[in-house]
Chains A and B, each alone.
Chain A
Amino acid sequence: MRDPEDTKVLPSTPVERLRLYAVFGIFALGFLYVAGGLAYRQLVQTGDLKEQSDSQSRRVILRPPARGRIYDRNGFVLVDNRARWSIKADLAALQKEFRAEYLRLLAAERARQAVQIDTERVMELARVNVLQGWLNKVWFVIDENQRTTTKRPMPAKATPLDPPGERKVNIEDLRKHLRERRAMPFTLVRDLAFPVANVPAGPEEGVKAVARFIEQFPVDGPIRLESDIIRTYPYGGMAAHVLGYVKDSDDLPPNVEDIAEIRLESLQKLRQTGKTGAAGVELSFDHVLKGLSGWELWTKTSSGYNQTRLKYSEPVQGSNIVLSLDLRIQRATEQALAEIKDPQGVPLPAAAVMLDVHTGEILSLASQPTFDPNRLAGRITAADYDEVEQAGAWLNRATQGLYPPGSTFKIVTALAGMRKKVVDWDDILECGASYRVGGRDFPEHEPVGYGEVDLDKMLAISSNVWNYQVGLRAGPEALAAEARRFGLESPLLETTDGPDAQGRSYTELPYAAARGLVVPDREYKLRIKAGPWQDGDTANFSIGQGYLLTTPLHMAAFSASLARGETRTAPTIIHDPSRSGIHAGSSPIGLSQAQLEAIRGGLVRCVEEGTGRSARIQGLPVAAKTGTSEYFKKGEKAHLAWMIGYAPADRPVVAFCVLVEGQIDTNTWGGKTAGPVVKQMLQAWADTAEKSGQAPPR
């Protein structure tokens, strides 16, 4: 039996008890401290800690939306989206292979008795080797020319089409990817339909490459097929200057309403590269076309790879827009321009515009040379950029090209003269071989002169001397005022209307000429320090030469205004069936009916028997004025061929302007060069109008 005293464990003396209680107290305090701290973190700091944890363990991936489509006025798709099939490697799933290759390379390095082994470099090499192995397999499957006649097929070889390194894993791309987008799959082939960068495989070959991969490459494994949306321009370079192109962008707004519950700012965000407008309508209407990004909320592993998708939201496609262009007229316009070539067979730089006289809607707007936006829709290479640059194809000559309008300006001189009452429609002026102004003979373009010339005849034969006389009588102020009255110095395509404009002002086609437009006067000449204004300047001004600079679009708008008997036309690229036809700032032209009829008659005569005969169409009365102006190209004189006008002459529906930049060695004349283009444009319009039941008079 034990003594009961033996079971007594508590100290009996006060000192011992005090010591024990002190220890208890210290423990109790410690426990309270821990419990208090825990409670503080659990109850007070919960939100902050959760956010911190989330930000460390979760990420948001933003997925770009499909852009809206662009249609022509008849509903034909001008810009669309197509499926881009990419082949990507899941780096997380390849970890084992990377490791095995790394160990193999390391063993090889040790076998070589390398003094110092750079493990980082070896790891990088291992990754490249593994990815290259998979890329070889991909090419082996998608390359139709690959034959498997041998028992042990070799990896696909590059074909003559392939740029160097096309079938190689780009080490720089891989480094960048691992640095910035480790969680995302690495792209091995960016676009299966265009497996060789920017060399179109052709519609059928592209689809075959996709189909071969889908059907022949193993479904399971680290190599995935992904499809996303890419911009496509079904008609290639057609209307490229209007449509523009797109470029890569990471800055696409997410679908914020969906994502409101997630504190986006505290999370790591990975953005898949989307597209934003870079030129043309793609740029000016980017806010309408771009849509909203989708998002995915993922947990991530300690190595930074994605683990589990927690939530997601689909992207929202951008809105569509309808342009005023008519595909058939646009195509005819570009085909006609392409037929004008220099002696070497290279198409001459040119521009053409056709407008609806009443609404100002642009039916066709072409600029040559052009570019294929499809080649810029993926990744713009330096070679592509240089090619477009060297061809001078970035410039939209219709809206940005600044040219002296030449004899097409003679209509303005005539208007100014009649409005200032220095000449009337039935006045006859004597027009010799030249006209002396300030001690210098200003020539007629007919060596023997035209003799007696009235307004009607002047417009038909484009007499210079008639205009010298009228211009000098009216004075440069009157000429400038008349040009400004028709808006030749005012920027066009600026509007607050249109899709989703919400009252803000914008330009429908980016970088349309605004500052470079020149309607010269005395102040202008002093401002550019070219000395005081001379009568010779007035003579030059009266025939559309000298300092005067305008764009083909301005001259087309002028033609439309003239056709309606008004002073202003506001061209627009957006189709709106309910458009009123009222043009801001427009007023009646201020001439008598007889004067207007005389101008119209002269313009019709120009086409029927004058300088514009090459634009004549049987049964369709056309009113037009040709022009051949001079400009300097590389220090030497060359000619610009112009033709402006409207049709049908008696009931105007469309107005047009064609400009061709002649070269030093080309024989370029208004009627002869620009006339055939006008003819083809009008024929295309007439056919279209006939088909749609608005048959033009024939």
Chain B
Amino acid sequence: MDQNRQGARASYVVLAAFVAVWVLLPSAVRRFNREAFVEFQAPALHLLGRSRDLATFFEKKSRSAEELAAAGRDLARINAALELKLKTMEDLRRENLRLRELTRYNVPAEYLSVVARVATRDSSSWWQRIVIRKGRNDGIRPGAPVIFGDTVVGRVTAVHLTTSEVDLVTSPGFRCTAYLEGDDQNRIVLVNGVAANSLGAAKARVSVIPYDYLLPAGTPARVTTTGMGGVFPSGLTLGYLDGGAYATQVGNFKESLLVPSRDLYNLQEVSVLVPIHQTPGEALMQGDQFQ
């Protein structure tokens, strides 16, 4: 009995000593430990992601030949349509270049696209975050936008050796400027994630909507990136305005909620747009670069 008590006491003492040592450690050591722990669990995250991929592979392999043939036909049609679109886009690109030269328009930020598989999702009520299987080794840098197709998924907040953490559009740590569909004057609004309650769907808030902005009739209004902040390219879809919550008016502006255009928790693959040139925001995120 006494031995048990002594054992319990000793464990408390050890815990207290560990906490005390942790608190007193220099921040560099603590950061090193955290990094080491993340790197330690990275293989497990990779394994988890790969096993999910494997499960998907076998699930697809079990499909019948007829199903695969139908899917192949559909893909061929989509490919044909996309090829046609590609040619149109090429014409537009040339025209765009010509106009830029004429107007001496500053070339917007350029990016390298890095495709990354999603390793795991952290969909707790506080952090709307995913972990991707690409990291510093693959050239990912903090602050880089993360997209899927023409849709914004979020942006990289932490980069480790082989993994990176991505704050989703619905994360409280996400903030960007946007245009609203139907606003002829292209006035910027602010999009930032809100902490969802544990059972509610994750959404973001759209604020500083001009008082005279009217929702386009029929379809929900698309919310797109402005490309003015130097992080996100312009014209990417952030989501759609939630028409139901739209009427709120704060001061001289309106507020609304943003419904992400994709199911952010079922993403398998994303693209990270790594800016070719470092942005000031990126330098700030690295912290120690500023005196």
Contacts and interface: CB of A to CB of B under 8 A. Distances in A.
Given A153-B289, A314-B251, A216 B143 contact: yes
Q: Taking each of A133, A208, A294, which has the highest tally of chain B beta carbons within 10 Å of its own beta carbon?
A: A208
Interface in A272-330: 294, 314-315, 317
Interface in A212-265: 212-220, 227-229
Interface residues of A, number: 38
Interface stretch (B15-23, B32-40, B172-180, B261-269): B172-180
B281 A220 contact: no
Nearest to A65: B251
B231 A216 contact: yes
A473 to B, nearest CB: 63
Given A66-B252, A83-B208, A229-B251, A211 B283 contact: no
A13 B230 CA distance: 97
A208 B188 CA distance: 10
Contact of B280 (A140, A294, A317): A140
Q: Taking each of B228, B232, B252, B282, which has the highest tally of chain A beta carbons within 10 Å of its own beta carbon?
A: B252
A210 interface: yes
A295 to B, nearest CB: 13
B213 to A, nearest CB: 13
B277 A148 contact: yes
Q: Name the prevailing secondary structure of the B interface residues.
A: loop
Interface in B97-128: none
Nearest to B229: A215
A602 B289 CA distance: 82
B192 to A, nearest CB: 7
A228 B207 CA distance: 12
Contacts of B228: 207-208, 211-212
Interface residues of B, number: 34
Contact of A218 (B251, B253, B284): B284
Contacts of A154: 291
B204 to A, nearest CB: 12
A211 B172 CA distance: 18
A50 interface: no
Contacts of A213: 229
A66 B291 CA distance: 40
Interface in A123-170: 133, 136-137, 140-141, 144, 146, 148-149, 151-155
Contact of A216 (B252, B277, B279): B279
Contacts of A57: none
Contacts of B226: 211
B195 to A, nearest CB: 12
A312 to B, nearest CB: 11
B174 to A, nearest CB: 8
B82 interface: no
Contact of A141 (B175, B207, B253, B280): B280
A220 B157 CA distance: 12
B68 interface: no
A151 B289 contact: yes
A522 B12 CA distance: 108
Contacts of A83: 208, 252-253
A317 to B, nearest CB: 6
Contacts of A198: none
Contacts of A149: 277
A141 B207 CA distance: 22
B192 A216 contact: no
Interface string A31-66: 000000000000000000000000000000000011
A228 B253 CA distance: 10
A313 B173 CA distance: 27
A214 B190 contact: yes
B251 A216 contact: no
Given A153-B283, A211-B228, A148 B190 contact: no
13 contacts: A148-B277, A148-B278, A148-B279, A207-B188, A211-B226, A213-B229, A215-B230, A215-B231, A216-B143, A219-B172, A220-B173, A227-B190, A229-B251
Interface of A: 65-66, 81, 83, 133, 136-137, 140-141, 144, 146, 148-149, 151-155, 207-208, 210-220, 227-229, 294, 314-315, 317
Interface of B: 143, 172-177, 188, 190, 192, 207-208, 226, 228-232, 250-253, 277-285, 289-291
Given A148-B282, A155-B291, A212-B228, 8 more contacts: A140-B290, A148-B279, A153-B290, A155-B290, A215-B175, A215-B232, A218-B284, A219-B173
